[in-house]
Amino acid sequence: MLIVHRYLLAALSVVCTTSAFASFPVVSRSEPLGAVRGEEATFTFHGTRLGDAHSAIADLPGIEILEVKAVDGKKATVKIKSDPNLAPGLYPIRLVTQSGISNIRLVGIGAMPVVQEVEPNDSFDSPQAIEMNTTVEGVVNREDLDHYSVDLKAGDQLNVEIEGIRLTYSLNNQRILDPFIAILDEGRFEVATSDDSSLLGQDGVCTFTAEKDGRYTVLVRESSFGGDPTNGYRLHVGNFPRPIATFPGGGVPGEVLVTKLHSLDGSESETSVTLPSASSDRFPVITETESGISPSPNWIRVNPLPVVMETEPNNDHTKAPEFEVPAAFCGVLQEPGDFDNFAWQCKKGEKYRIQVYARGLLRSPVDAVMNLFAPDNKHLVSSDDVGVARDPFVEFTAAVDGRHTLRIYDHLRGGSPLHHYRIEVEKATPTFHLTLKELRRDEAGMACVPVGGQTAIMAQVARKGYNDEINIEIEGLPAGVEAKTFAIPQGRAEIPVFLSAAADAQPTASLFRLVGKGSEKHPDVVGTFGQNHKLVLGQNRRALFEYETEKAAVAITEKAPFKIELTQPQTPIVREGSKNLRVTITRDEGFDKEVRIRTLYNPPGIGVNNSLKIAADKNEVDIPITANGGAAIGSWPIILMANYPAAHGSADIATPVINLDVQDLYFKYEFPRVAAELGTDAIVSVKLTVARPYEGDAEVQLVGLPNGVTSPEPIQKITPESTVINFPIKVAADAKVGTHKTLVCIARVKVGEETIVQTTGTGEIRIDAPLPPKKDAPAPEPKPEVKAPAKPAEPKPLSRLEQLRQMTGK
């Protein structure tokens, strides 16, 4: 997985038939795929729901949007101009329409001239000739082979880098370009190849130095010989510098960092990099020499941690060199089987945070494994990959004072001058990271606020050692948009952010971010904000390529054809209780479509029926909600989303915010085990405990009686002093015999015009069949008659032959 950052109902099952979500514009590909820095370029974006495109957002500085035009529903053009000093690389652009904001589309901005692929070039004998230091834009069809030839002199270096999967957008594991590149000599022998690379993920990079003059060919194909007309690539060919590792992997803000640059051919060079004055999680290092400029950056970290360079020998963790922390340990696993160790003094009870940066950020080939040892050299903890992250991470609390040692090595015991890493060790201070909840699975969140209406987004938090309340502010909203924020409660992971647009707001868009701060007790705790954009998903929805931004997008969209209200309840919902929320719309003239209603989120323990809608001939609907026995007590902001047909699919508008007051239950019950026979009467005597005071009139209804059992008084009035509720029941002669665990008490407390409902169960009733009637004692059974023994049978007369045999003795 390659990650690119900005340079930088519990108790009630929720009923879901067809969940309705807004339809946003989607950009699937662009033509061309990139541009030359300093020049104007017009991109044609292809996709769906693009017919009302009116502007675009460039997430990073250095790109100016000059003009946006909608061609039709499937195409829109975006004219840009880039800064002539813009660092080469990939830059995100988002298309903005009247109905929303599209997914991020990455375009390449380079320093070399661009030529287009010219077919036929599928034969080694008839390649397309190109000049050195050229970018080629081409397409790979199924089983397609693209050939490009360059002339080299002996000693000339040829570097080849391809942008393939990084220019793709696919969330369904289809039409993905996983490129393979090779350099062929005049005898058609592969002198260099690349499929995947540690530097570029599933995009390749390779290098070759010519041993003699001649024509050399660069081959491009899909790695499994697939292909599709939409699979475009940018191929960079030349003798431009292409370091694949920079060491060390970071520095201190404001300093000039001297870095070593390592190339695929083993050569090294040095360069000086002026670091920004502010910290940066990912800072691009662009290498420029007399022969050109690298087509894409290497990445390092910039923060105040002092850099500590590895010192050899340090293979033995019992003899590791000792340093001060906090620090950033930078080193290289120089050869296969290499181990590097660093030690520092810890104080008992202090918590430390250790993060390794290698494969994920630095694009190093190191598959790092980290071990931590105590002062007695006994092993404490290990870390390899952490979740989807590919680098180790550990937080630990020192159990004793003394020297602790950290060891790092490659999982497969690999090593080379390219196997570099950076390990940040510091005391673990409480912090957190904010982001937006995905709109749908794998789709990054955004905000679309209808003119004169409102919307809502969900802020989510990942906590690191901080579990208290988080206060949120929002920065960067466009003119005419206002926000209402709520604190994320202690221990909770999400909260809505409510946005509204003025009636005279103009369609526009901007980038914004959430700013999170700790509670009044912890004002020094601050968080970060960012978004992850999944651009390519493979099998099992595994992310093959992602992009991270420091801001999210918001747009003012077309007005909704109705106004919407959510009635504020005047009474709470209690645990084990239920309530209806009434949604009312006021339709504009001519709007006669149905409106689907769903909840934006559910407070903990609250279940909502998300299958309801306001029919085309209606203007309101009641939305049932329930609270389970563990629902979180407190006041929760509630926002419902209304989805309706629009010109380009469907759109959403949010209801105004209401506060849902969740309280503990009023009543507790002790159900008896009741038994009754068919055709009899009985009493179900339920013990009642008033758990807390209540206002208004109260009653309890017994429900859940089995078939054939009725109660002449199923509803009983109660008072705060009530301790027992007696429900008379009648059991019919044909009632169902057996044990029935179905009895439920529904309590209703009338407060003004509203009723608080609490439903608690379950009780048990056993229905028995009557015993059979008693009978007289049975008469004694008659003694069996004794029969006289049978007389022996008369002997059978002998035949003449038998008589003769007896006479003769034979």
pLDDT digits (tens, 9 = 90+) for 78-95: 999 999 999 999 999 999
- Token pair of 475, please? 């920065």
CB 305 within 8 A of CB 297: no
How does DSSP assign 215-275, residue by residue? Answer: EEEEEEEETTS---TT-EEEEEEES----SEEESSEE-TT-EEEEEEE-TTS-EEEEEEE-
Cα 410 from Cα 512, distance rounded (Å): 40
Say if residue 211's pLDDT is above 90: yes
Burial class (CB in 10 A: 0-12, 13-18, 19+), 250: buried
Q: Which CATH class is domain 432-557?
A: mainly beta
pLDDT in tens, 396-415: 999 999 999 999 999 999 99
Cα 751 from Cα 462, distance rounded (Å): 40
- Token pair of 209, please? 């130095």
Phi then psi for residue 484, to 5 deg, are: -125, 120
Percent of the chain with pLDDT over 90: 88
Determine the 3-state secondary structure of 539 from DSSP. helix
Say if residue 12's pLDDT is above 50: no
pLDDT in tens, 406-448: 999 999 999 999 999 999 999 999 999 999 999 889 999 999 9
Cα 280 from Cα 303, distance rounded (Å): 7
Q: Which H/E stretch holds residue 152?
A: strand 146-152
Using DSSP bridges, classify how beta strands 157-163 and 232-238 pair: parallel, antiparallel or unpaired.
antiparallel
Domains 307-428 and 667-768 share a fold: no
- Token pair of 728, please? 């008379």
Name the band, by pLDDT with cuts 50, 70 and 90, for residue 8: very low
Say if residue 16's pLDDT is above 50: no
Name the band, by pLDDT with cuts 50, 70 and 90, for residue 186: very high
Peptide bond into 792 cis (omega under 30): no
pLDDT at 805: 65
Q: Which CATH class is domain 562-663?
A: mainly beta
- Spell out the domain ranges in the chain: 26-110, 114-238, 245-302, 307-428, 432-557, 562-663, 667-768
Phi then psi for residue 156, to 5 deg, are: -70, 140
What SS3 string covers 760-808?
A: EEEEEEEEECCCCCCCCCCCCCCCCCCCCCCCCCCCCCCCHHHHHHHHH
The CATH number given to 307-428 is: 2.60.120.380
Cα dihedral 781, 783, 787, 788, rounded to 10, equals 180
Name the band, by pLDDT with cuts 50, 70 and 90, for residue 197: very high
CB 658 within 8 A of CB 734: no
Q: Which amino acid is at 790?
A: A
Q: With CA atoms as reference, report the closest residue to 90 among 561, 463, 548, 571.
A: 548
Using DSSP bridges, classify how beta strands 620-627 and 573-574 pair: parallel, antiparallel or unpaired.
unpaired
The CATH number given to 26-110 is: 2.60.40.10
Please state the rounded mean pLDDT for residues 684-699: 94
- Token pair of 298, please? 């290497």
Q: Which CATH architecture has domain 114-238?
A: Sandwich (2.60)
Q: Which amino acid is at 292?
A: G
420 contact partners, CB below 8 Å, separation of at least 6 = 245, 247, 248, 249, 262, 330, 331, 332, 333, 358, 362, 364, 366
* CATH match of 667-768 with 2.60.40.10: yes
pLDDT in tens, 260-285: 999 988 899 999 999 999 999 999 99
Tokens 């904010």: give the residue: 434
Phi then psi for residue 750, to 5 deg, are: -85, 120
CB 118 within 8 A of CB 128: yes
The reported pTM is: 0.87
Least confident of 170-179, 378-387, 745-754, 799-808: 799-808
647 contact partners, CB below 8 Å, separation of at least 6 = 52, 98, 99, 558
Positive or negative, the CA dihedral 34, 37, 43, 46 is positive
72 contact partners, CB below 8 Å, separation of at least 6 = 50, 51
Q: What is the biggest distance separating any 2 CA atoms in the chain, rounded to whole angstroms?
A: 146
Determine the 3-state secondary structure of 450 from DSSP. strand
* Residue 263 vs residues 24, 330, 417, 752: alpha-carbon distances, Å: 43, 19, 10, 78
Phi then psi for residue 585, to 5 deg, are: -120, 150
Mean residue pLDDT of the chain comes to: 92
What are the helix and strand counts (H, E) for the chain? Answer: 1, 67
What SS3 string covers 495-519?
A: EEEEEEECCCCCCCEEEEEEEEEEC
* Residue 193 vs residues 6, 127, 220, 268: alpha-carbon distances, Å: 29, 18, 10, 21
